[in-house]
Chain A
Amino acid sequence: MCLSIPARIVSINGKMAEVSAGGSIFKAGLHMIENAKPGDYILLHAGFAIQKISEKEAVETLRIIEEMNNAMNDTP
């Protein structure tokens, strides 16, 4: 039930959107998202977009891990 996956907005019609995840198209309610546009990635849960995914933060997470790893391996 926590099942929520990142999906890309393909098209928007009023408050409903068609989103694509792994090649399948799902319907998503955009009632809880502001300023959504095609190309945005959202978290799809139980038929609703519950949050936008931040590309910036997504990349940042992986960068921080890399940095930490380098720091830990540099420390004698």
Chain B
Amino acid sequence: MDEIITLNQGSGGRLTHQLIEDVFRKYFGMPEPLTDSAIITEAGGTIAFTTDSYVVDPIFFPGGNIGKLAVCGTVNDLAVSGAVPKYLSAAFIIEEGLPLKDLLTIVQTMATEAKKAGVKIITGDTKVVEKGKCDRLFITTSGTGILDPSREHISSGKNIKPGDRIIINGPVGNHALAVLGARNKLSFSTSITSDCSSLNELINKVMMKSTGILFMRDLTRGGLATVLNELAGIIKLGIMVDEDSVPVDEPVRGLCEMLGFDPLYLANEGKLVIVTGSSEAQKVLDIMRSDTLGKQAAIIGEVVPDKRNLVTLHTSIGGKRILDMPSGTQLPRIC
């Protein structure tokens, strides 16, 4: 096979079939024969369905690559709605000239991650475009899973009331700065790695061992501040956050100080917030801390009555300020 991906491999003919066979079907383990649509037979139920495109630059960064993001991101979107993720599709737009070994690494990562998350990649698409028409590689994954009706309120947060607690599973800002560091190797070097990971196992533990999970959402672009503002808007209440309680790794804090970023606005790929009643909060915290992806879990705030639906931050020095929605891109193309 050629060492780089060429336009010929995207034209649908023999070379495309060879690429699919040698790369995608091989590592994703798709059954023969490959049909236009994957056919799924499932017990009847409510279906959760999501899609996301991944255009991160650069495609390799400390802690992962675009393929890992593509699997974890979509798995997480399903898992935080309370669904059990089952099947993914993966569509690739490849820039002519991408080294084959890069594609192989990425696909192998996706296969590994899918296996870890207990999902199957069962259908996909491949296109190759001319040089300059896409930035090395874009991936779109859609995912589907089964949602138990008793969990439907989790996405809407409709049972949330003042006094309920907000919990996060770990430190924020790592992904954004890992990608930035990979992009700016000349200006500075950092040990920060992306937190990219599939959260469905952690979520499953929490859902199995506790009741009273009122809301879940994963943090991506726009960071913690965005999700909290979205939540406040949905439930039409206010949120109080204690800045000191929000876990932030020391290197992330340092780099943020240097570059003028606020970690509360930075992208994450392995973090979620959970809202639960005040009496349940400690129990949920303990369950999360027993999992590798929740070791630094913390209660970071609570829901409060507020007609203006604002998110208020109690600052680390004892002051108070509003934590608003971020405006514009702090950092472009980090997922």
Contacts and interface: CB of A to CB of B under 8 A. Distances in A.
Partners in one complex: yes
Interface of A: 3, 5, 7, 21-27, 44
Given A3-B258, A5-B257, A44-B258, A22 B251 contact: yes
Contacts of B188: 24-27
A22 B253 CA distance: 7
Contacts, number: 42
Interface centre among B187, B188, B250 (most CB of A within 10 A): B188
A interface, over-half SS: strand
B255 A22 contact: yes
Interface in B245-300: 250-251, 253-255, 257-260
Given A24-B190, A25-B188, A25-B189, A3 B254 contact: no
Contacts of A26: 187-188, 258
Contacts of A22: 250-251, 253-255, 257-258
A22 B187 CA distance: 15
Contacts of A27: 187-188
B191 interface: yes
A8 to B, nearest CB: 11
Given A22-B251, A23-B250, A5 B187 contact: no
B251 A3 contact: no
Contact of B189 (A3, A5, A24, A44): A24
B191 A23 contact: yes
